[in-house]
Amino acid sequence: MIPPSFEYVRPGSVEEAVSALASSGDDAKVMAGGQSLIPLLRLRLSYPEVVVDVGRIEALRGVRDEGDHLVIGAMTTHDEVLRDPLVRTHCGLIAEATETVADPAVRHRGTFGGALAHADPAGDLPAVALALDAGFVIEGPGGRRTVPASEFFLDYLQTVLGPDELLVEVRVPKLGAGWGYRYEKFHRVAQSWAIVGVAAVVQRSNGSIASARIGLTNMGATPLRASATEQALAGADLGSIGDAAGHAADGTSPASDLNGAADYRQHLARVLTGRAVTAAARA
């Protein structure tokens, strides 16, 4: 539990961070809250030559209102996110899911952007970002670009972020009137990762469901959308949620591990999707 030695850089601005990354090539690791990276270092599963600690870049912190979007700085801690009045008012799903992340100690250190950039499919926030159609604002040597959540996650722990790029903020569309949401997390002890999680947002219209977006946690190498269920729910009445949820695991191939074999995970995805959509539709 002792990390190998590495060079440590603590830039004061996004520009400095990007240039530090650019000059280090593939051998640098960005450290945000350190809640994933430090355990990897201590277990000697990761041997970066340079650790770029972005924890002191004030510009990356905080939540602001940009009309139809909220913009959440990448270095905003989980605890700040879940207590933020703007997040609670306009993006309650994020607050609800963030409350389930690990334990209070981790939530005070871990960051919103760090959790997304780490891209652990068992993490709660990637599926939430997917369900909310969030946009990922990335800065590199060539400037800024915004990538939709549906394109951000490439594979297990892999994203579109280049080695010289930094996730700086996340743009989250506000849920308007008529939308409900729910995050259903299934885990054995409070501080553990989800065996399966389901993030659902549902738009109601005249007692039926106008549209729904559903993100699945830990059902594959990346967070996934339950597309077949979403299609079945579009325009459907509340009585058909169960049937639609039966398609939640279609096309998924989740891992089998200590916490659940693949068939059990698929079963859980269907049950939890039914519960999440029902709750979101009633909210």
> Footprint of other proteins on this chain (CB under 8 A)?
1-2, 4-5, 42-43, 103, 186, 188-193, 195, 256-261, 264, 267-268, 271-272
Instruction: Read off the DSSP letter of residue 62.
Output: -
Can you tell me the distance from the alpha carbon of 72 to that of 113, in angstroms, rounded to the nearest whole number?
8
Q: What is the DSSP string of 70-124?
A: EEEETT-BHHHHHH-HHHHHH-HHHHHHHTTSS-HHHHHH-BHHHHHHHT-TTSH
Helix and strand element counts for the chain (H, E): 12, 14
Closest distance to other proteins from the beta carbon of 1 (Å): 3
State which residue, 29 or 185, has the beta carbon closest to other proteins. Answer: 185
Q: Which is nearer to other proteins, 106 or 160 (CB)?
A: 106
**Is 96 or 139 the residue whose CB approaches other proteins more closely?**
96
| Nearest distance, CB of residue 234 and other proteins, angstroms | 25
In the complex, minimum distance from the CB of residue 205 to other proteins, in angstroms, rounded to a whole number: 29
Q: Residue 169 corresponds to which tokens in the numbers above?
A: 């903020």
CB of 120 to other proteins, least distance (A): 11
Amino acid at 123: G
Q: How many residues does the chain have?
A: 283
Nearer to other proteins, 158 or 191 (CB): 191
